[in-house]
Structure 1
Amino acid sequence: MSGAQAAGSPRVGWVEWVRVSAGAVLGLAAVGLLSHFAETGTGWTQAVWLVAPIGASAVIVFALPSSPLGRPWSVIGGNTLGTLMGIVCAAWIGPTWIAAGVAVGAAIALMLQARCLHPPGGAAALLAVLTHTTDWRFALMPVALNSALLVAAAWLWHAATRRPHPAPPEAAEAMLPNTDDLSSAIDAAVTRYGEVLDIDRTTLRNLLEEAQTQAYRQRLDAVSCADIMQREVQVARPDESVAEAQDRLIEHGIKALPVIDRHRQVVGIVTAADLRLNPEGAPSAMLESSTPVAARMTRQVRVVSQTRHLSELIPLFASSGHHHLPVIDASARLVGMITQSDVMRALHRTPQANPTAPPSA
């Protein structure tokens, strides 16, 4: 793929580079200073007033403000709950290697349930186990305090540099680009956004393509046969002559006639090709006037319900070779006709209430 970016974090402009780096320096320094004052001012007995996982949190809140992993509840809740889980495991599980695995796995499960997934929360759980911390107050100070101060520092920095935190999602376009246009569109959008995104361009493209496919399916599922079918349908009776059926096809410029009984139930279908059949050597006019439609019609007829969706029709037309499908109601009576032309017209119609489709061949 031409113009593809190399693996790893995408490059950003120098302004964003300076903004993010300076924010992390000032923000983490402020967190450390305020936490140290809080520790000395309250007589807190813990020797640690700044924990290492906060450094990882700083990367997310300053460099990835659009990430759900950097939302305030994710940072504060993830680090605090992860630490609490590590404390529990350190107190109740003997071998460190078992306690470490259980603490991180349980922290992830707890963060997912609490909707505050934050990667440094796993590091906070591991820190509590490795330092054999069993005092639950450690989760409040310094961990919860560090996290809250970091969120506040990030909010102030992003506001001062005109980058809201958390960053609001940009309005989506009404129509997604075609697949062939996605690569250049993604590159242009990321460059214009000017911010590191915690998702690589290949995954982003796949998500956009999947969203496009889902939107297309939803649009097809919103249209039923009743919305696009031809309601004024020319029909044939089994006992009428081939000549009469041919005249009707020519008069209305159509290519097929559903054959119905006296209850308007479909018993067959006859096309122009069926009516042109002529045994070799027999007088054509005599045959057409005396041969009933029942002798030429196809008796195995694929019909569709008027409540079926457009998404279900496409495979029928694409794989079965059908060009015309009679539409029936709940009582199996003929109520309309759908052709390939009707389906194509519906596919290209802008999303809106579907008026009754005009008759077509």
Structure 2
Amino acid sequence: MNSDDRPVWWLACLPSMPFPERSELLMATLGGFLGIFSCALLAGLTSKLGLPSLFLVAPLGATAVLVFAVPNSPLAQPWSAVLGNTLAAICGVIAVTLASPQVAPVFAVTLAFAAMLLGRALHPPGGAVALLMGLSPDLVYDNGILGICLNISLMTLALAAAGVLFHKFSGRRYPFRTTLSQVAPTPPQRLGLDKDELTELLTKFHQTTNLGAVDLARLLVAAEEEMLHHTFEGQACGDAASSDIPVVSAKSGLREIVRRFRLSDHAVLAVTDIQGKFLGFIWHKDVLSEMEKLTRPRLLSLQVRATDILRRPDFALDSGVPLGEAITLLVQTEREFLPVTENGNFKGVLTRSGLLNLILFASKRKAAA
């Protein structure tokens, strides 16, 4: 049977996750080992030191999967993990104390769901913690109400702490960003949406437990960048660079610089060395400042050279850089223009106004097609 003829329900039963990359597989496996090892080590230390004994419980394995395999998930964050498991343990204790053995497991899980949602600490292993209490009331009786709750809380805390330390070296962020201000550039600048509006979108599509507002912002920004790449596919930033910026030699005197500014409508001049390599820009306001310092204007060309007042840029775009990437960089740096070079030689500047014209032209061309 052709794959296109398969019924929809059969496709839904196939794997929905992509095959893991080798580095992700290694990191998740190593992290899981170190996380559970940390908990086992803590349990052994408390026993040797004569402290109240701590012990491993099965739901910690599920918590380890979230913390080390999907550390960006809202369900895996320390608040969700520690508070979620602790609330679930408390609910399990309440169920065992108040309900009959037959009803306690159901009662425990139901209470845990409500408590974790109200505490904004939804953590899937918490359901297993509550069920464990309901199915094994002897755990509560043997360790005491405070003892079993403290055990679950401290062991989960140890696991989350191991996750924080491990992910400092894994290349993943844990705890994950919790504020939009930590995303650069911020979504309000890029998207015109604030955190509340992004959260409303997630709520509308019932995705608040699967995705955070920051994750959604990052996806939208990435989609925006991908759209730009498609719009200007095949075009390099050298194709869009404005080449009408006046150029002066590094040895040019202030008199020559002033003359070039008088002949130009631009607020900057590009400066190159004797081989034509780009060195930086001279700004009109800097020239005015230098002129105010001079006591003998007739000696302008002798007292100040271009190299004395130029501003060297942090970087320059190579003319071969894809235009979509260049636009993204221009937006991220929040600058009016960026220098473009070809083999180190000055090619021109990439300006916001020029890019706006390109985008409008591309939209009209697409509409006409």
TM-score under structure 1 normalisation?
Answer: 0.45
Higher relative contact order (CA 8 A, sep 6+): 1
Q: Which has the higher Rg, Structure 1 or Structure 2?
A: 1
